[in-house]
Structure 1
C-alpha cells in the first residue's frame, strides 16, 4: 500500500529543497541577446514543448494563486529567459523590477530550471543568483564584456 501511495505522488510533491540532477550544468543566460516575445502587433509561434516547459517551471516555482496573492507572488511580475539545448529547456525566472511599482526589491527570488522535452523537471536551483543580476542589466543587453557587478555598481 505504501509503495502505491508513493507512486501516486505527483511532481508537486517534491520537497522545497529538491535540486535534481547536479550533473546538468545551467548555461549562461546572458551571453547572447534574446528576442522579446509578446510585443504588440507581432505574431509569434511557440512550440508546444517550449510552452509546456515554461508552464511546468512556473507551476513549480509559484505557490497556488488566490485573490490575496501579492504582486511579487504572481507570474506576471517576473521575466522568463529560455534557452533550448537539444532535448532540454533551460529556464531562468527572475523578478521584473518595474512590475510591482518598484515597491518590491527581490533578494534571491529567482530560479533556474532544466526541463526535459517531455515536461519533467530534471534540475532546479531556486533562490540562486544567475551569473549576473538582471535588475542591474537591460534584459537584452547581450554580452556582458566581463563586467563584474557589485551591489549595482561597476
Structure 2
C-alpha cells in the first residue's frame, strides 16, 4: 500500500506540475485579464479625424519604422488568441484592419474588423480594440470592444436646469 500511496502522490505532483507549467506558459505569452485597461489617463485620438494612407494598396514602396511594426505586433499578440487549425476566419489577424497614429512616444493602434474578409460568416458587433503602446513595446492602455462616446456637455441650460453643481452641495 505505501507504494500505491507514493505513486498517487507522485502522479498528483506530476499533474499539478504540468498544470502549473501550462499556466506559466500561457501567462508568459503576455496575456492580461480581459478587463485590464491600463492607464486611463491616456486619451485615444480620433482615429478617423484624418485620412490614412493604405499601405499595400498599390505598387508604391513604403518604409515602415521597426518600432511601429513592433507596436502593432504587440497589440496583435494581445488581441488575438493563439492560432490553431480550428481558428475561425474572424479569429485571425487577416480578418481585421489596423490604423496607427504616432503621437510623441506613443503609438495608438485601432484594430477593427474588415467586413469583406470573411464573407457572410462574420458579423462584427462591438469587436475590435484600441491600444496605446510605448516606443519600447509596452501596452500602456487597452480598450477592447465598443466604448461609449462621451456625452456632449450642455451649453447654458438643459431642460430648464442650469449647468453646474446644485446649490445644496450636491444632495439629490
Partner of residue 118, structure 2: 100
The answer to whether the 8 Å contact 1:110/1:129 transfers is: no
Match 2:49 to one of 17, 31, 37: 31
Q: CA distance change for structure 1 residues 90 and 105 in 2, over 3 Å: closer, same or farther?
A: same
Following superposition, the deviation at residue 41 of structure 1 comes to: 1.7
- TM-score norm. by structure 2 comes to 0.68
The higher radius of gyration belongs to: 2
The answer to which structure, 1 or 2, has the higher relative contact order (CA under 8 A, 6+ apart) is 1
- TM-score norm. by structure 1 comes to 0.75
The answer to whether the 8 Å contact 1:88/1:116 transfers is: yes
Q: Which has the higher helix share?
A: 2
Following superposition, the deviation at residue 39 of structure 1 comes to: 2.0
Partner of residue 132, structure 2: 114
Following superposition, the deviation at residue 10 of structure 1 comes to: 4.4
Q: Distance in 1 between matches of 2:119 and 2:145?
A: 22
Aligned-pair RMSD on alpha carbons? 1.8
The answer to whether the 8 Å contact 2:31/2:78 transfers is: no
Partner of residue 163, structure 2: none
Partner of residue 91, structure 2: 73
Structure 1 residue runs of 5 or longer lacking an equivalent are: 1-5, 132-154
The superposition leaves residues 39-64 of structure 1 with CA deviations (integer Å, 9 ceiling, x where unpaired) of 23221100000000000000000000
Structure 2 residue runs of 5 or longer lacking an equivalent are: 1-23, 150-172
